[in-house]
Structures are given as C-alpha cells and as structure tokens.
Chain A
C-alpha cells in the first residue's frame, strides 16, 4: 500500500468486496444447486419432454346415447357416484350441440384438455396443479388444499371437487376428499408404457373409435398423422391455451 498518493487505496475495498461476494456465493450456492437438482428430479421422474400426450376426438363418430367412455373412465378410476349429479365427480362427459344458425348437430366428449398453458396451474396457490413435461396436467393430492380456485379458472369445467368421503379407491388414481381432480389422461397407463386410455379402449370396443390417444410430438404417431391430414379445432381456441385435446368435424 502506498502512502505517497493521497487517493484512497482500493485494495481493502476489493478485499472486502471479494469476501462479501464469496460469502454470498457460498450462502446461495447450496440452495441454488439443491433447487436445480429438485427441479431436475421432478422433470425426469417418469415423464419425458420428448413426448406430448394428447387426444383427437372425432365428433362424427361419437354415437348418440352412448356412454361407454364415461363408464370406462368411472370404473378405471373408481369414480363412484352418489346419484348427486351436481357434486359427483365427472372426469369425462358427453355434450350434444346444435348450431344456432344452421341447426347442425354435433356430439362430443369433454374432459381436461391438457393445455400447454393451463389456467388451473397458473392460479393454484400451492403448486398442487401442475403440468408434467409430457403435457399431462395433474393435481398433486398431497399439496391440494381444496381452495377450488383452479375450478374457477378452468375454461372447460373439467375439474371436480371431491365432495364426500371415499371408499374402495383404485390404485390407478389415488383420490382425496376435499381435493380437486380431473382427467389424468390415464397417466398410470402412460407410465406403464401403455398407448391407449380407458375411454379410447371402451369407444373402440363399442365400434365407434371416436377417441384417439397418442404422442403429438412424434410425427410418425397415428394422432399426428390424423391431425396433419384433417382440419381439427381446439375448444375455446381464442384463449390460446394450445390444448392437448383436439376435435374433428366440429
């Protein structure tokens, strides 16, 4: 350190600055690393971003009076009803529509649309609603506090709140009283390597084949081929949610 110049020495400042920076880095680093690891962990557990699972529903093939997909979904996930339609869980529902101008009639099934930008995930205060890297939107039943904000936010009325005590649950879909739930795109089948959902299977068995499940990211998959060659629509496309469920002939 020189005493000849009257300008203050910067050595000490540099030392203090460096020490502070090092201390800061040491304090933050473990947290940042743990965070990164945790995030990483979540991303790789069972799901891969190479896929984006989705569905196509052909409204021309959805048969009047048929409820095979609804019944299959209910039994696959043990969604027992109590004959109280306003509060019983509904993961998939048929809807019949008539064009106000032309009178043209359509029938289709509605369920969670597995949006790329899901409003339910945005509004969930505790991150219980989440989207897997493969596009499946789910509810973590251990984190859901039952605030129902996601039900307010969902444009598709796709979610149900468990209004009563549960019994005889299925291992396919653990549920919880006081939590919110919706179509899981049969994620238990996806994770076991299956390529068909319960509703699709039931629809095919009835001979309608109105529902097609598959990987939207794989250009060779049947769903991608169908979507490339046919005009499809998203319901409430104006919201720009980029849904994973698309409709033909609507």
Chain B
C-alpha cells in the first residue's frame, strides 16, 4: 500500500468554510440563549413537568452521547482489530467522537436545574448512582480519545497506538453500557426495568455513530474536493447494514420479552398499539424510516455503489435513531406508573393513572440543535487545524 498523507481540510472556496462556521456559531448562540431563558425563568417555560421530567434536551443529549461512542468504531476497527482499509479513517473517527460527546454533554449540562453546580457533580460521587459513573466515563472518554488521537498523529508515540486503542475500545463499551443502564435499573418504571437496555444501547451506538461518520465523511470529502474510493465506502456501507439489523433484532427481543410478562402488557400496548404519537414514532420513525428504509437502500442491488443511497441511508438511520430514543425517554415517562395494581384511579391530585402530556417547546429544541451544531463546529475546526483527513482515500 502506498504511503498515506494527511492534510488539513481546506475547501475550494474559503468563504464556504467561514460561512458554514458562522452558521453553526449562530445556531450555538441561539441554543445558549435558549438555555439562559430556561434557567432564568425556571423549567416551567419548557414542555417538561413533574411527570415528564426529562424532555427533548435529554433526547438530543443521549442521542449525541450514544453516537459519540459509536463514532469511535472506525478507529477501533483500524487499530484494535487490524482493518487496513479503516486505519486511515481513525483520526477522523476520534475527532468526530470527541465532537459529538462535547455536543451531547453541553445539552445535558445546560438542561440541569442547577448547571452552575456542575462542580458538585465533579467532586461528590455516589458510586451507587449510574449517573455518577457516567460523569467519570464521559470525562475519561475525552482524555482517552485525546491520547488515542495523539498516538495516531505523532509518530514518536505511535507504538502505543494499539494498547491505547484497546483502552479506548473498552472505555467506549463501558460508556454506552453506562448510558443504557440509566434506563435499565429503574425498577419503578415498567418501560425502564430491563437489563437489555445496556447491550441495546451499545449496538445503537454502533449504528448511529457509523451513520454520523459516513454522512460527515462523504460531506467533508465533497467539501474539500478529495476522493473516496468505492471499495472503502462499500465496506462502511455493509457494516452499517449489519448494525441496523442488529438494532432491529435487539428491539424485537426487548418487546417480545416484555410481551411475555403480563405486568408489562400495558406499556407494550401503549408503545406498539395505542400510544398515539409514540406509537407512530415507533412504527414510522424507528421501524420504517430508521430500519427498513436504510436496509433497503444499503442492500438493494439497485443502489449498488450509489453514494446518494449511502448518505440517504445514514440520514434515515439517524432520524430513526432519534425517534427510538424519543420513544424510550419520553414515551417511557408518559406512560403512567402502576402504583396500585388491580385498581383503577378515579380521582387524583397529581395525574395518577393518566398518560402525561408532553410537547417540546422552542427553547428545548434550540438547545438540542445547538448540541449538534457544537459537534459539527468542533469537527470542522479540528479538521482544518489538524491533519485529520488523508489527502485521498482512493482504493
């Protein structure tokens, strides 16, 4: 194989880069303004309430955090599992992972009731809390991926690349296990008491992360007028197909197991049949757009080597993934908790037995979108400042 040269990414017309960055900057500024508005007035100005305590910002944050850990896959395949076609993409994989995690964490932190007390979260740990573990897992991820990038970019420390790659791989598995476990150990809520959540989140991360990776990689190479070979893209595309299928399999296993337990029939009926917007999001968003459409685009011979189809499939995976997390996070909370089995609530001072209303408001949406903008802005600046992208990815 010929020697690989990496070069900073410049686009053909500089104005395109600066305009792009300015747009992302404005979106971030609007998001920060929205966060200030929500903190200043209190959370009542959002759609969140004492029944749906985690709203749209959590959906964005979890989506980005899960995707971040998955974005590191390509680097892992390159240096841990020794895939030569993936190795040149390792640097970008690391950069994208850091960007996505930063975007997700910004949203998560700014949605706290007291974001000013972040220092308390960093200094006071209850090790029985998965959240406390996640604080360590998230900050550690930055450090490990940072060192990982260093071993990829600096020849003098290149010999440590493999062990650091291994560490990063295990760390990222731990990170998504931790994120999934947030929803795996809430015994009180019927939607969240399944240990399958942890491995399912790991596989979701593979899928969303790779979709983000493929989409932004193709965009960057068009942007910088560089070449990507079909062979490499076909590899990535096939891998995405496998991950999408795996997410579908886990979803099936999750719902089939629940359907066996009569205690869970209520929540399953709610998500799968008569949950209104959540049922639609599940079937149309997650299953149709997020699973069946991309599988068709990726595997149909009609779209063989079509880059348009690969990008469209990646976008569909991301849209479906977003709905999947929305249904898990918000649908799971909207469904009423069973406090009194066998009894019907005929009167309550606090919405017992009722499906909770939730409609996201503009500030929440703006904060969430700002998280994506921050991730993209970090990637855009990182790719321009560091030698991240190979000059060419021809086969």
Contact = CB atoms under 8 A, between A and B. Distances in A.
Contacts of A161: 43, 50, 53, 113
A123 B349 CA distance: 26
Which among A100, A147, A235 has the highest number of chain B CB atoms within 10 Å? A147
Nearest to B43: A163
A95 interface: yes
A152 B54 contact: yes
Interface in B79-128: 112-115, 117-118, 120-121, 124-126, 128
Interface stretch (B23-31, B129-137, B221-229): B129-137
Contact of B129 (A122, A154, A163, A176): A122
Interface string B166-196: 0000000000000000100011110010000
28 contacts: A70-B349, A86-B357, A96-B348, A97-B343, A98-B346, A100-B344, A122-B126, A124-B129, A125-B124, A125-B131, A127-B124, A127-B126, A128-B120, A144-B113, A145-B112, A146-B113, A147-B121, A148-B113, A149-B131, A152-B186, A153-B188, A156-B339, A159-B50, A163-B43, A163-B49, A164-B42, A177-B42, A179-B113
A149 B186 CA distance: 10
A159 B337 CA distance: 14
A87 B43 contact: yes
A35 interface: no
B129 A125 contact: yes
Contacts of B349: 67, 70, 90, 92-95
A97 B340 contact: yes
Contact of A123 (B121, B130, B345): B130
A72 interface: no
A154 B118 CA distance: 23
A51 to B, nearest CB: 25
Contact of A106 (B126, B128, B343): B343
Contacts of B42: 162-165, 177-178
Nearest to A148: B53
A93 B114 contact: no
Given A93-B349, A95-B348, A152-B54, 8 more contacts: A96-B347, A123-B129, A127-B126, A145-B112, A146-B114, A157-B337, A161-B50, A163-B44
A164 B41 contact: yes
Given A98-B344, A123-B129, A154-B188, A148 B54 contact: yes
B113 A177 contact: yes
A43 interface: no
A21 B94 CA distance: 42
A97 B345 contact: yes
B8 interface: no
A4 interface: no
Interface residues of A, number: 61
Interface string A123-145: 11111100000000000000111
Nearest to B41: A164
Contacts of A99: 342-344
B333 interface: yes
Nearest to B50: A160
Interface residues of B, number: 51
A101 interface: yes
Contacts of B18: none
A144 B120 CA distance: 8
Contacts of A151: 50, 53
Contacts of B352: 93, 95, 110, 157
Contact of B339 (A124, A157, A162): A157
Interface in A219-248: 235-236, 239
A82 interface: yes
A113 B39 CA distance: 30
B254 interface: no
Contact of B343 (A100, A127, A163): A100
Given A162-B113, A177-B113, A155 B129 contact: no
Contacts of B337: 155, 157
B121 to A, nearest CB: 5
Interface in A110-125: 110, 119, 121-125
- Best-buried of A123, A143, A144, A239 by chain B (most CB within 10 Å): A123
B350 interface: yes
B51 interface: yes
B351 interface: yes
